[in-house]
Amino acid sequence: MELNGTNNQSEVRHESWTLGHARLKARVDLLQKNQRNLMGEDLDSLSLKELQNLEQQLETYIRHLILKKNRSMLESISKFQKKCTILNRHVLGFEPIWSDVNGPVEETGLIYGLGGLAGSATSVGCWLGLQFQP
């Protein structure tokens, strides 16, 4: 009698695993189909409504990518402007170059004597591609 009960439990577990596997396989297949569609593949079988939904998804993804890219570019520009300001102040004699926002000169890679190379604050601004008035 115990063997029969054990067999039933084993069969139930096997059916559960089989059903779970089938669900996961169907989910993977759907995700792979969606990925191919997002890559522009296998679009012939899509209905007009599915194509419109795909277009909307792609537009949303593009907006997020553009926002992320713009945020990253603005951060880079801000860091560059801070470094240029520090270099310009150093060349004009307002503060030493080692007061860089990123740490000591040795860590930032900034070089002593840049002012001697450039000659004046205006030429440093031109050398860095900046326009400012001293």
> What is the per-residue pLDDT for 110?
45
Residue range 39-53, pLDDT digits in tens: 999 999 999 999 999
pTM of this structure? 0.50
Query: Can you tell me the distance from the alpha carbon of 63 to that of 53, in angstroms, rounded to the nearest whole number?
Result: 15
Tell whether the model's pLDDT for residue 76 goes beyond 90. yes
Neighbours of 98 (CB within 10 A): 15
Nearest to 100 by CA among 79, 83, 116, 113: 83
> What is the per-residue pLDDT for 93?
72
> What is the per-residue pLDDT for 94?
65
Angle (deg, nearest 10), helices 48-92 and 2-38? 70
- Cβ 107 vs Cβ 83: under 8 Å: no
> What is the per-residue pLDDT for 5?
61
Tell whether the model's pLDDT for residue 111 goes beyond 70. no
